[in-house]
């Protein structure tokens, strides 16, 4: 009987993932580099395996970097662009500033790829591949990453500040921000499960410990013992940069313990605990199912990562293949000026094309 119920839950949850109708996304193909750069997967894996030995946190950081890229202009590596005379970098946006990590590792991967397959693999595809390989190296699921993205000619600081959900968001806000990207309630819960690895700075959750929603009291949904542990780690008025494990149980293992933590009211960020503790929320049943069935979570996470990786992609003759991920190719500056004007004109109505 339990097996039958698991199958029913799996069909119900995975059935919530509509096939992408984005014609550009449909051009992506896991075998895109089969002939032009057949070693790209092993190159990315080799760099990440080596870096993660001394910095296991980098695996979570690269999954997050892909997420922060895709939610702004689509999965086009715009987050990697540095400030220049024609580019205002997304790295200075509030959700990214002194927060995103892994830019140097992406550059290391890009250099290794260029040495083997020059002018072939986009930085956007490197981000997507890095996220998948990071999942596997942390013990999580693997999937065939659709490839063939091209890199943007612009960045968008305004959208980076507008489109990335925050750690203090309530469930209504989270659902709204995910819906903007064509992602549904199952995507929200599954992708939040990436917090089964990684760390967060005290400043992103300290209000839960001392002044939740301006009440002057702690968040009542937070387990008392866990709260006291966090308060010792993050004293009121402290520096705010101390790191805490997002998953208190198995912080460096990609598993479903994140969801079990939510059931115990030990979600580190408010945006985590909201998935389970919001009264009457449809997310509660999904959290319960992922907590009791890791395979179900892994399958949903794979589907949601592929779906997210299809957001607003550039393909064909769009964009470019950057030689260096932090800068446009020298012959693309003129195109960037035109694209930047088009991007600026699309910001005023708050809509993002291709989402």
- The gap from C-alpha 244 to its chain's centroid, in whole angstroms, comes to 19
In Å, how far are 22, 72, 318 from 156, measured between CA atoms? 21, 7, 17
Query: Euclidean distance between the first and final Cα of the chain, in Å?
Result: 41
| DSSP state letters, 56-108 | TTHHHHHHHHHHHHHTTTSSSSGGGPPP-SS---GGGSTTTTTT---HHHHHH
Element (H, E) at 257: helix 257-263
Q: Which residues contact 181 (CB under 8 A, 6 or more apart)?
A: 70, 71, 163, 308, 311, 355
253: exposed, middle or buried (C-beta count within 10 Å: 0-12, 13-18, 19+)? middle
Residue 282's SS3 state is coil
User: Catalytic site residues?
Assistant: 68
Closest CA to 78 of 96, 60, 91, 59: 91
**Helices 294-309 and 58-70, axial angle in degrees (round to 10):** 50
Both tokens of 185, joined, read: 């309630």
Q: How far apart are CA 247 and CA 342, in angstroms?
A: 42
Q: How far apart are CA 65 and CA 54, in angstroms?
A: 19
């Amino acid at each position: 009987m339990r097996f039958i119920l698991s199958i029913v839950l799996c069909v119900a949850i995975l059935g919530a993932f509509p096939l992408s109708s984005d014609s550009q996304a449909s051009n992506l193909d896991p075998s895109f580099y089969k002939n032009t750069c057949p070693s790209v997967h092993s190159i990315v894996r080799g760099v990440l395996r080596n870096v993660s030995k001394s910095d296991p946190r980098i695996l979570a950081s690269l999954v997050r970097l892909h997420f922060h890229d895709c939610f702004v202009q689509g999965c086009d590596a715009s987050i990697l662009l540095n400030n220049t005379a024609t580019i205002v970098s997304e790295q200075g946006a509030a959700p990214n500033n002194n927060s995103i990590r892994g830019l140097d590792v992406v550059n290391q991967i890009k250099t290794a790829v260029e040495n083997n397959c020059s002018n072939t693999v986009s930085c956007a595809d490197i981000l997507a591949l890095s996220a998948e390989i990071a999942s596997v190296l942390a013990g999580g699921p693997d999937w065939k990453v659709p490839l063939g993205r091209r890199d943007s000619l612009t960045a968008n600081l305004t959208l980076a500040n507008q489109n990335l959900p925050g750690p203090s968001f309530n469930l209504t806000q989270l659902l709204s921000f995910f819906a903007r990207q064509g992602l549904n309630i199952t995507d929200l819960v599954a992708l939040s499960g990436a917090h089964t690895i990684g760390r967060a700075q005290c400043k992103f959750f300290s209000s839960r410990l001392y002044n939740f929603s301006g009440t002057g009291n702690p968040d009542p949904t937070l387990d008392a013992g866990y709260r006291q542990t966090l308060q010792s780690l993050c004293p009121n008025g402290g520096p705010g940069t101390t790191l805490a494990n997002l998953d208190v149980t198995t912080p460096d293992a990609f598993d479903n313990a994140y969801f079990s933590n939510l059931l115990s009211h030990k979600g580190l960020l408010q945006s985590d605990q909201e998935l389970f503790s919001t009264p009457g929320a449809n997310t509660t049943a999904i959290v319960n199912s992922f907590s009791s069935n890791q395979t179900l979570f892994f399958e949903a996470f794979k589907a949601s990562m592929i779906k997210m990786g299809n957001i607003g992609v550039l393909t064909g003759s769009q964009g470019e293949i950057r030689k260096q991920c932090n800068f446009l190719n020298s012959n693309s500056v003129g195109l960037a000026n035109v694209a930047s004007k088009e991007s600026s004109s699309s910001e005023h109505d708050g809509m993002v094309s291709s989402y």
